[in-house]
Amino acid sequence: MTITRSHAPSLMLGTLRAFGGAAFLAPGVAARTLDVSDDAETAYLVRLFAARNAALVGGLLASRGETRRLWWQAGLACDALDVAAGLLGYRDGKKPASAAIDTGASLVATALGLAGLWMERGAKRKRSR
């Protein structure tokens, strides 16, 4: 497969999600990065988030056509809700540095998801001509 500019959002988002997915194996590193407690409860929650990231990147990269568009939309919905969760967490007293990391990564993922969905639609229009 030749990598083109239209592949950039999925590759960047895949890389971002792969880092999130890697937290499944090292939840303590993620807890320290996010400046949250490094205990069994946090490790469990980090692993839940990491599993979701791994599933979203796998589904996106393994799919084509209409199914791929649905994976873009599912990831976009998750990322937008993550932004809201980060903002609500900050409002409720989450440490500012931790909230900035969470919300910032979610904003980047949301932007990449929008770009990817937009590029998929453009590529679909070109193919149908």
Domain of residue 118, residue span: 7-128
Report if residue 18 sits inside a domain: yes
pLDDT for 2:
53
> Which 3 state secondary structure label does DSSP give 39?
coil
Name residues whose C-beta falls within 8 Å of residue 3's C-beta, 6 or more positions apart in sequence.
11
Report if residue 2 sits inside a domain: no
Q: Give the mean pLDDT of 107-121.
A: 89
Residue 71, pLDDT > 90, answer: yes
Q: What percent of the chain has pLDDT over 70?
A: 89
pLDDT for 129:
63
Q: Which of the 8 DSSP states describes residue 5?
A: G
Report if residue 1 sits inside a domain: no
The helix (H) or strand (E) run that includes residue 49 is helix 40-62
The number of folded domains in the chain is 1
What are the backbone angles phi and psi of residue 35, rounded to the nearest 5°? 60, 45
Report if residue 117 sits inside a domain: yes
The pTM of the full predicted model, rounded to 2 decimals, is 0.80
